[in-house]
């Protein structure tokens, strides 16, 4: 059964969605993630911190650590890919939402969901090429990573970043990450960043705000 929502709020949100669909929000600064696939040890501390912070039940995971292994002895390899919502420049989820619950923040480009407007239709879950939206059956809503906006607004970093003991996960202005001018422990002085790794959807679909220090067997572009 659909959630009870404020009809006036839904109407206003739908109007906002129409504006943002045809005139996408261009943020003042676009925040994004950077993850070092090579140095990540796969401890999943980021996953645990995220679930704890958001009070998630068993099942839904806003952040996911994926183990990738391959090759034949003695030429074997292994690395980890760490992803959540990518806060895309052109999010596919936003125009799919019938109530306008999904929006993109002007000041930092974070894509968020107003849970009071969500009716649990799961259209965003179907349209996201990265599997970010997660259905919460106990509440009949879809939720996802919002980059810990309360922490961002307080001048701090998300729980996942702060929990990373290897400092291989970080956030920052994506243009500075691309230019190599953002100071972060996730990237070494000679590390090259890529936009896509193996088994990841084409970034041209939505222009995701995430970059990787990729394993030589995992880099795509």
Give the model confidence (pLDDT) of 126-143 as tens digits: 999 999 999 999 999 999
Res. 211: pLDDT tops 70:
yes
Both structure tokens of 21: 């669909």
For the chain, what percentages of helix, strand and coil (3-state, to nearest 5) are there? 25, 20, 55
Residue 196: CB atoms within 10 A of its CB come to: 19
Res. 21: pLDDT tops 80:
no
The answer to whether 178 and 172 have CB atoms below 8 angstroms apart is: no
Supply the pTM of this predicted model: 0.88
The per-residue pLDDT for 22 is: 60
∠ CA(17), CA(111), CA(138), 5° rounding?
90
Could you report the per-residue pLDDT of 73-109, keeping only the tens digit for each?
Answer: 998 999 999 999 999 999 999 999 999 999 999 999 9
The per-residue pLDDT for 1 is: 44
| More confident position, 69 or 22 | 69
d(CA 31, CA 210): 9
The per-residue pLDDT for 17 is: 73
Name the strand (E) or helix (H) holding 95.
helix 93-96
d(CA 201, CA 81): 13
- Domain residue ranges of the chain, discontinuous segments joined by +: 7-213
Res. 64: pLDDT tops 90:
yes
Options 3.30.70.20, 3.90.120.10, 3.40.30.10, 3.30.460.10; CATH of 7-213 = 3.30.70.20
- Nearest to 133, CA basis, from 106, 116, 114, 113: 113
d(CA 65, CA 46): 8
The per-residue pLDDT for 9 is: 86
Both structure tokens of 202: 């084409």
Confidence of residue 219 (pLDDT cuts 50, 70, 90): confident
3-state secondary structure at position 194: strand
5 exposure class (CB count in 10 Å sphere: 0-12, 13-18, 19+): middle
């Amino acid at each position: 059964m659909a959630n009870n929502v404020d009809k006036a709020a839904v109407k206003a949100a739908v109007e906002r969605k129409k504006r943002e669909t045809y005139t996408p929000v261009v943020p003042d600064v676009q925040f994004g993630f950077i993850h070092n696939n090579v140095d990540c040890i796969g401890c999943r501390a980021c996953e645990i911190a995220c679930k704890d912070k958001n009070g998630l039940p068993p099942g839904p995971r806003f952040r996911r650590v994926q183990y990738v292994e391959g090759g034949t002895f003695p030429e074997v390899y292994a690395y980890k890919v760490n992803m959540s919502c990518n806060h895309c420049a052109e999010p596919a989820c936003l125009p799919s939402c019938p109530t306008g619950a999904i929006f993109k923040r002007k000041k930092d480009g974070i894509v968020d969901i107003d849970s009071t407007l969500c009716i649990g239709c799961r259209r965003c879950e179907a349209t996201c090429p990265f599997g970010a939206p997660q259905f919460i059956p106990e509440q009949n809503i879809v939720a996802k990573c919002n980059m810990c906006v309360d922490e961002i607004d307080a001048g701090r970093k998300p729980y996942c970043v702060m929990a990373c003991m290897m400092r291989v996960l970080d956030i920052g202005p994506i243009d500075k990450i691309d230019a190599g001018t953002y100071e972060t422990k996730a990237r070494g002085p000679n590390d090259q960043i890529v936009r896509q790794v193996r088994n990841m959807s084409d970034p041209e679909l939505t222009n995701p705000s995430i970059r990787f220090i990729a394993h030589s067997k995992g880099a795509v572009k």
